[in-house]
Chains A and B, each alone.
Chain A
Amino acid sequence: GAVVSQHPSWVICKSGTSVKIECRSLDFQATTMFWYRQFPKQSLMLMATSNEGSKATYEQGVEKDKFLINHASLTLSTLTVTSAHPEDSSFYICSARIPGRTSYEQYFGPGTRLTVT
């Protein structure tokens, strides 16, 4: 149980275009999902917390107009990187937690490698 999927696993886009990454909870409903960015050999950096039916909460320093997050259903959250630039190239990971579970562990998707050319 507690499986999270991400799509695509790998994407290349041209500078100036937008790309959408999907995150789905497959066997549970997730009222809260999280989006992380990870550089090689580094820890995960939280970008934003996504709540179903409401606006996402962004971490300090993350441009909300550039990284659009939509949590339209209890099983789907999307991250859209708008007007992508080469510096946006990174590994993006989503996660979700099971509502009501007081241990607050998160279950992670397999990640999406974004390359902007």
Chain B
Amino acid sequence: AQTVTQSQPEMSVQEAETVTLSCTYDTSESDYYLFWYKQPPSRQMILVIRQEAYKQQNATENRFSVNFQKAAKSFSLKISDSQLGDAAMYFCAYPETSGSRLTFGEGTQLTVNP
């Protein structure tokens, strides 16, 4: 079974600074997707960014980018120019293609300090 691990329960960053959230996963598949979701205090889950495994180029969405290391099964999220609105719980997720269920990591609570 696939597993997703986020080893940082909490992280903090100063406003305007950069922070990187870590995620590792385990799978035997060769082609797959990976996602980062954000859950702000409203608790609405929001898709932040997706990465397809066969694409070597790291995905970027505005201030959010990933460092995808397929061989190491690592998928970290970098947030640049952090804003107060980035404060949230961040979840790394892996979709199982067989049943399309998502396997989530434990989450990382990000605090942005003014």
Contacts and interface: CB of A to CB of B under 8 A. Distances in A.
A106 B43 contact: no
Contacts of B30: none
Interface in A81-117: 91, 93, 95, 97, 102-108, 110-111
Interface string A34-71: 10001001111010010000000100000000000000
Contacts of B95: 103-106
Interface string B70-114: 000000000000000000010100011101111011110100000
B28 interface: no
Interface string B20-51: 00000000000001010100001111110010
Q: Is the interface of A mostly helix, strand, loop or mixed?
A: strand
Given A46-B101, A49-B99, A108 B91 contact: no
Given A103-B52, A104-B95, A105-B95, A111 B35 contact: no
A105 B33 CA distance: 8
B47 to A, nearest CB: 6
B105 A43 contact: yes
Contacts of A111: 43-44
A93 B39 CA distance: 12
Contacts, number: 57
B101 A108 contact: no
A104 B33 contact: yes
A78 interface: no
B97 A104 contact: yes
A108 B33 contact: no
A116 to B, nearest CB: 19
B98 to A, nearest CB: 10
16 contacts: A38-B43, A41-B109, A42-B107, A46-B102, A49-B99, A49-B101, A91-B43, A103-B95, A104-B97, A104-B102, A105-B35, A106-B95, A108-B45, A108-B46, A110-B42, A111-B44
